[in-house]
Amino acid sequence: MESELSSNALPKHRTYGWQLAVSAFVCAYLGLGLATKSVHLYHWFMLLAIPAALLSAERGRRFFLDWAPLFAFWLVYDRLRLLQPLLYSRVEIERPYLLEQKLFGWMVRGDIPAHEAQAWFAADHSALVKAIQWAAQIIYFSHLFLVPLAIAGLWFRGMTRERSRSSFERHLRAFTVLNFSAIASYLLIPVAPPWWITLNGMVQPNADLVLHADMTLAMQGPLIQAMIKNASQWFAAVPSLHGAYPVLLLLLSGRGAKRTILVALVLYGFAMWASTVVLNQHYVIDLIAGAILAAAAYYAELIWYGRGKERQSLVRLLNHVGFKVLRTSRESKQGKGRRVKILRLSKRYNLRKDTSRGGRVLEAVSAKAADHIQSLNLCGSDDWHRIRRHLIKSSPRMCDPRVC
């Protein structure tokens, strides 16, 4: 009897659907890798996501949902290795090289900057050149850590600060647009990097050349040679995400960042661009294309953010109304009646109560809901006319079909 009572007193762990979905996805992803013989050692670290999901509560769910777009990009990009053989016949080799030579050949006496730097590294083995090689490799890999860390910092601060949360969402949207636009470009127009020409000339890629590629002849530096040898996609030169990431970070920082941060981002961008060229990884035109795509992603997000800004102000106004209802409900019976009435409205008109950010937000989804809430006399008529105009304008995509 005692043991039964003690077992009943223990809290029971409940498994949620999102936890099972994360676990199933990890197993399916690794199963695909095993079936295609494309699993590497670092892939097995994904198994850590299963206990992390099963043992986490609401904060874990929020983490996986918030970071899902970036996780999706990393996993999709990794699976490009399965599609690479299908792109061999369409890889652009000569035209990007000739364009680079025409635009920037004057800088290196008719050759291209990447090949000139490769020849310099191969011929000079001094300590200074070795130091430049290692610094360039570290900078080249830095985007794998600096960009996620910067976004993670905004995510952690966003738990308690609304402004940081908004900044995190903006970064997430902009980088999602940039990343998946780049993947679409890689699949539509695969472009060979300059190191391919150093190794094979203008020869079209095939399975045998890829299998027996000697990276020590194509580029200098042990880190970069090992990384490119195991890269998921060799023919993803245009646009260069190495060139795009610093530009997008700089644009997203905008006027709100300190001058030292902006200067650091500019210097980091120059260092990244120089490193990708001297390591024979990208043409200058690749970097320019990456910067253009980063600007396009930034302005696409800006349009989204601008359209959502008015809606956010309306939500804040509704948030104020919700708190006023709760406050008056504690003060009088009339307030309690209003609270019951607005709860009924929330069910009838699909008003959504969102407590994920620490506050109660009542989000109206129909003009009729606004009219009914106005009858509660909780806010000025001008504010509610503004809400009603906004809801009527957006009713085709927002309105509950059972009401409108």
What pLDDT is recorded for position 376? Answer: 47
CA–CA distances in Å: residue 146 to residues 152, 246, 258, 339, 352: 10, 10, 18, 48, 37
Residue type, 260: T
What pLDDT is recorded for position 113? Answer: 92
Sign of CA dihedral 318, 321, 327, 328: negative
> 364-391 in b/e burial notation, b at 16+ Cβ within 10 A?
bbbbbbbebbbebebbeeebbebbbebb
d(Cα 373, Cα 379) in Å, to the nearest integer? 9
- Angle (deg, nearest 10), helices 127-141 and 259-278: 120
Rounded (10°) CA dihedral 244, 249, 252, 256: -150
Nearest CA-CA partner of 193 in 97, 281, 272: 281
CA angle 390, 396, 402 (to 5 degrees): 105
What pLDDT is recorded for position 337? Answer: 53
pLDDT tens-place string over residues 1-50: 455 544 454 445 566 788 888 889 999 999 988 998 888 888 898 888 88
- Which residues does the chain have with pLDDT short of 50? 1, 5-7, 9-11, 310, 313-315, 317-336, 345, 347-368, 376-380, 391-404
What pLDDT is recorded for position 258? Answer: 83
What pLDDT is recorded for position 162? Answer: 81
Q: Are 399 and 349 in contact (CB under 8 A)?
A: no
d(Cα 120, Cα 113) in Å, to the nearest integer? 11
Residue type, 271: A
What are the residues whose beta carbons fall under 8 Å from the beta carbon of 66, sequence distance 6 or more?
155, 168, 172
> 19-47 in b/e burial notation, b at 16+ Cβ within 10 A?
beebbebbeebeeebeeeeebeeebeebe
d(Cα 173, Cα 68) in Å, to the nearest integer? 11
Q: Are 361 and 314 in contact (CB under 8 A)?
A: no
What pLDDT is recorded for position 163? Answer: 83
d(Cα 100, Cα 284) in Å, to the nearest integer? 7
